[in-house]
Amino acid sequence: MVLTSLITIVDWLESKQLPCLTKSIFHIECPGCGMQRALIALLRGDLAESLRLHPGAIPTLAMLMFLTVHLVFKLKNGSRILLYLFSFNVFVIIVNYIIKIIFKIS
C-alpha cells in the first residue's frame, strides 16, 4: 500500500516537472539543470542515475533535512553545520556545472 502510494507520488512529480527557463530562453543549461530529474531518480531508488543527473541533489536534500532538524530541535552548532553544508553544496553544484560546460555533458 505504501509502496503503491510512493510510486504514484513519484509518477505525479515526474509528470509535473518545471521546464528550465534558462535552457528554454538562452539554450544553455543552468547550474540547477537536472536537479528535478535527480531527485525523482533518488525517490525511485536509483542512486547512480541520481548522481549522474545532478551530483548536488543528494547533498542538497541532506542539507534540507538537517535544516528541518535544526529548526525543530535548535541544535547547538546547527547554524555552523548548515553553513558548511551550504558551502559544500555550492561547491558541488559549481564544479558540476563547470564540468558540464567543459565536456558538453547534458
* pLDDT per position as a tens digit, 13-26: 999 999 999 999 99
The arithmetic mean of pLDDT across residues 31-45, rounded, is 94
Burial of 72 per CB tally in 10 Å (0-12, 13-18, 19+)? exposed
pLDDT at 106 over 70: no
Burial of 54 per CB tally in 10 Å (0-12, 13-18, 19+)? buried
Q: CB neighbours of 81 closer than 8 A, spacing ≥ 6?
A: 66, 70, 75
Start-to-end Cα distance in the chain: 36
* pLDDT per position as a tens digit, 44-93: 999 999 999 999 999 999 999 999 999 999 999 999 999 999 999 999 99
Instruction: Measure the CA–CA gap between 29 and 105, rounded to whole angstroms.
Output: 10
- Going 66 to 70 to 73 to 76, the CA torsion angle's sign is positive
The arithmetic mean of pLDDT across residues 100-104, rounded, is 88
